[in-house]
Chains A and B, each alone.
Chain A
Amino acid sequence: MCDQTFLAITFGPCDNCSQNKPLMNIYLKNEPINYCSLCVELMACQGLAKGETIHTLKTESETLKAKLEEERAKLHDVELHQVAEKIEALGQFVMKTRRTLKGHGNKVLCMDWCRDKRRIVSSSQDGKVIVWDAYTTNKEHAVTMPCTWVMACAYAPSGCAVACGGLDNKCSVYPLSLDKNENLAAKKKSVAMHTNYLSSCSFTNSDMQILTSSGDGTCALWDVESGQLLQSFHGHSADVLSLNLAPSETGNTFVSGGCDKKANVWDMRSGQNVQSFETHESDINCVKYYPSGDAFATGSDDATCRLYDLRADREVAIYSKESIIFGASSVDFSLSGRLLFAGYNDYTINVWDVLKGTRVAILFGHENRVSSVRVSPDGTAFCSGSWDSTLRVSVRFRFSGESDLRNILYSMVLLFTGIRDYRW
Chain B
Amino acid sequence: MTINTLSQDGVQRQQMSCLTKMERMVISMQDPDMGIKLRNQRLLITVIPHAMTGADIVEWLIKKCSISDEEALHIGQIFVKYGYIYPLKEPRNLILKVDDSPYRFQMPYYWMSTRWPASELDYAIYLAKKNIRKQGELIEYEKECYNALHKRINHTWDFVVMQAREQLRASKQRRKADRIVLKCQEQAYWLVNRPPPGTLDSIDHGPERRTMNTRVQLNAEFYKKEIEHNRISLARNRVKSSICLESYVKYCEQYQPHDPIMQGCLPSIPWITDDIMFWNMNCETVAVPTKLRVERWSFSFMELLNDPMGRKEFLTYLKKEFSAENLCFWQACEDVRHGETSKIPEKVDEVYKQFLTPGASRWVNIDSKTMEKTLEGLKRPHRFVLDDAQMHIYFLMKKDSYPRYLKSDLYKNLFARAIVPQETKKSVFPFMRRQRHSSPSPALATQAAEDDGKAKNSNSFKSNSGTASRR
Contacts and interface: CB of A to CB of B under 8 A. Distances in A.
Interface of A: 4-6, 44, 47-48, 52, 54, 57-58, 60-61, 64-65, 67-68, 71-72, 75-80, 83-84, 87, 98-99, 109, 114-119, 133, 135-136, 138, 140, 149, 151, 157-160, 167, 169, 175-178, 196-197, 204-209, 215-217, 223-226, 228, 230, 234-239, 241, 247, 249-250, 259-260, 269, 273, 275-276, 281-283, 290-292, 294-295, 301-303, 309, 311-314, 316, 321-323, 325-327, 334-339, 345-348, 354-355, 362, 364, 367-368, 375, 377-382, 387, 393, 395-398, 406-407, 409-410, 413-414, 416-417
Interface stretch (B177-185, B258-266, B410-418): B258-266
Residue of B227, B259, B444 with most partner-chain A CB within 10 A: B259
A410 to B, nearest CB: 5
Given A99-B271, A115-B471, A158 B465 contact: yes
Contacts of B242: 77-78, 83
Contacts of A83: 242, 245-246, 248-249
A312 B237 CA distance: 9
B465 A336 contact: no
Contact of A312 (B17, B239, B429): B239
Given A159-B441, A217-B215, A327-B18, A339 B226 contact: no
Nearest to B334: A205
What are the 5 closest A-B residue pairs judged by CB atoms, nearest first? A159-B442, A336-B255, A206-B338, A336-B259, A64-B230
Contacts, number: 365
A239 B210 contact: yes
A410 B222 contact: no
Given A98-B271, A175-B443, A312-B238, 13 more contacts: A61-B226, A78-B245, A83-B249, A117-B279, A136-B437, A208-B338, A230-B383, A323-B67, A335-B260, A336-B258, A346-B74, A354-B252, A380-B260
Interface in B396-446: 426-431, 436-439, 441-446
Nearest to A93: B261
Given A160-B465, A249-B302, A336-B262, A239 B209 contact: yes
Contacts of A326: 18, 78
B45 interface: no
B234 interface: yes
B231 A396 contact: no
Chain A CB count within 10 A is highest, among B14, B246, B437, for: B14
Counting chain B residues whose Cβ lies within 8 A of the other chain, the interface size class is 35 or more
Interface in B40-88: 61, 64-65, 67-68, 70-72, 74-75, 78
Given A135-B270, A159-B443, A206-B338, A238 B215 contact: yes
Interface stretch (B101-109, B129-137, B314-322, B339-347): B339-347
B219 interface: yes
A250 B65 CA distance: 45
Nearest to B269: A380
A350 B65 CA distance: 15
B231 A57 contact: no
Looking at chain B's contact residues, the main secondary structure is helix
B220 A301 contact: no
A228 B341 contact: yes
A417 B274 CA distance: 13
Given A159-B441, A159-B446, A355-B248, A226 B342 contact: yes
Interface of B: 1, 3, 14, 17-18, 21-22, 25, 61, 64-65, 67-68, 70-72, 74-75, 78, 200, 204, 206-207, 209-216, 218-220, 222-227, 229-231, 233-236, 238-249, 251-256, 258-262, 264-265, 269-272, 276, 278-279, 282, 301-302, 334, 338-342, 383-384, 387, 391, 394, 426-431, 436-439, 441-447, 465-468, 470-471
Given A215-B209, A276-B233, A362-B71, A47 B258 contact: no
A360 B270 CA distance: 23
A325 B210 contact: no
A140 B441 CA distance: 9
Contact of A68 (B209, B233, B258): B233
Nearest to A134: B271
Nearest to A159: B442
Given A135-B271, A302-B17, A381-B271, A114 B251 contact: no
Contact of A364 (B74, B243, B245, B441): B74
Given A176-B441, A260-B212, A413 B342 contact: no
18 contacts: A5-B235, A61-B227, A138-B438, A204-B338, A237-B222, A238-B211, A238-B212, A259-B209, A292-B247, A311-B243, A325-B75, A335-B259, A336-B258, A348-B74, A367-B200, A380-B261, A380-B269, A414-B431
A379 B230 contact: no
A220 to B, nearest CB: 15
B458 to A, nearest CB: 17
A395 B269 contact: yes
Nearest to B254: A336
Given A205-B467, A239-B209, A178 B78 contact: no
A397 B272 contact: yes
Among B231, B245, B465, B466, chain A packs the most CB atoms within 10 A around the CB of: B245
A193 to B, nearest CB: 14
Nearest to B468: A157
A338 B227 contact: no
Contacts of A334: 259, 261-262
B446 A338 contact: no
A19 B207 CA distance: 57
A378 B244 contact: no
A379 B259 contact: yes
A282 B17 contact: yes
A14 B278 CA distance: 73
B230 A68 contact: yes
A76 B334 CA distance: 38
A248 B450 CA distance: 29
Nearest to A339: B261
Contacts of B279: 117-118, 378
B212 A237 contact: yes
Given A77-B241, A206-B338, A414 B466 contact: no
B126 to A, nearest CB: 27
B17 A301 contact: yes
Contacts of A375: 261
A371 to B, nearest CB: 9
Given A67-B234, A208-B340, A237-B222, A323 B259 contact: no
B442 A158 contact: yes
A401 B436 CA distance: 26
A87 B436 contact: no
Contacts of B438: 133, 135-136, 138
B241 A301 contact: no
A322 B242 CA distance: 28
Contact of A116 (B227, B272, B340, B442): B442
Contacts of B436: 135-136
Contact of A149 (B3, B78, B224): B3
B215 A119 contact: no
A208 B339 contact: yes
B74 A223 contact: no
Contacts of B224: 44, 57
